[in-house]
Structure 1
Amino acid sequence: MARARRPSPQTAAVLIALAEAGAGWSHGYDLCRNLGLRAGTVYPILIRLTERGQVETSWETDPPRGRPARHLYRLSIAGAELARFVAESARAGDGAPAPGAARLAPRTT
């Protein structure tokens, strides 16, 4: 039987950032830059969330000339529900954090 675990602060940050993008697609590089996290942190999170059905992926269909196509990411319906739960949990724990502050807030037990 699998235990439900609270997402790490980094996973929560990725979920919230994708939720803020709405139905739009996001590039992994942009997530890294916007969240101040390294690619070695963000891409494994995106892979795990994709394997769990919480993130959808696609390839860029029309990349700029001279650059290969990149992966695009967005939340699935299940991922949007998880992101909503994570955001509500962050708000409930710290009142009303400044935008972005809840993304990397330490976990509480």
Structure 2
Amino acid sequence: MSGLRMTPQTEAVLKEMLLKPTQHHYGLTLGKAAELPSGTIHPILARLERSGIVESFWEDPEEHAAASPSRPRRRYYKFTTNGAEQARVSIAEAYARRARRAGVKLTPSPSTGQ
């Protein structure tokens, strides 16, 4: 993910989204699941969107009216076509960087050789 900062918070958001990679995710729900405040989650989602990992869309006005017209419309996030794979690779790269800094030698998996 060229240029994207892989902070622990960004990693937590991506991991949460990867639990259900084809689902549309609501920002506040993601924030609660990743244990992040809304002031943190929304800037992360904006960066992920700018980097092309996720895309967003507004809740359909008719669905909103049927659900609860008194609440604001929701903005949903989902992975782009290659976004989930980019997220997996980026998380693995971040893990490898942390391991190298800690002096841990990563060994290939016996079953995959990777």
Alpha-carbon contact 1:28-1:71 (below 8 Å) kept: yes
Match of 1:11 in 2: 10
CA distance in 1 between counterparts of 2:4 and 2:27 reads 24
Q: Cα distance, 1:17 vs. partner?
A: 1.1
**Alpha-carbon separation, structure 2, partners of 1:57 and 1:79:** 12
Deviations 1:56-99 (A, max 9, x none): 10111112222221100111133212221144457x75xxxxxx
> TM (normalized to structure 2)?
0.69
What's the offset of the Cα at 1:5?
Answer: 5.9
Q: Which residue is equivalent to 2:23?
A: 24
1:21 CA displacement: 1.9
Unpaired runs of 5+ residues, structure 1, are 94-106
| Corresponding residue number in structure 1 for 2:80 | 76
- Identity percentage over the alignment? 35
- Give yes or no for contact 2:54–2:83 (8 Å, CA) kept in 1: yes
Deviation beyond 2 Å, 4+ runs, structure 1: 3-6, 86-90
The answer as to whether partners of 1:32 and 1:42 remain within 8 angstroms in 2 is yes
Distance in 2 separating the partners of 1:74 and 1:38: 19
Q: Which amino acid in 1 is paired with 2:39?
A: G
Structure 2 unaligned residues grouped into runs of 5+: 102-114
Seen in structure 2, the aligned counterparts of structure 1 residues 83 and 68 have a Cα distance that, compared at 3 Å, is same
TM alignment of 1:28-47, pairs within 5 A: 28-47=27-46
Larger RCO of the pair (alpha carbons < 8 Å, separation 6+): 1
> SS in structure 1 opposite 2:72?
coil
- Give the number of equivalent residue pairs: 93
Kept in 1: contact 2:48–2:54 (CA 8 A): yes
Once residues 17 and 80 of structure 1 are traced to their aligned partners in structure 2, the CA distance between those partners, rounded to angstroms, is 11
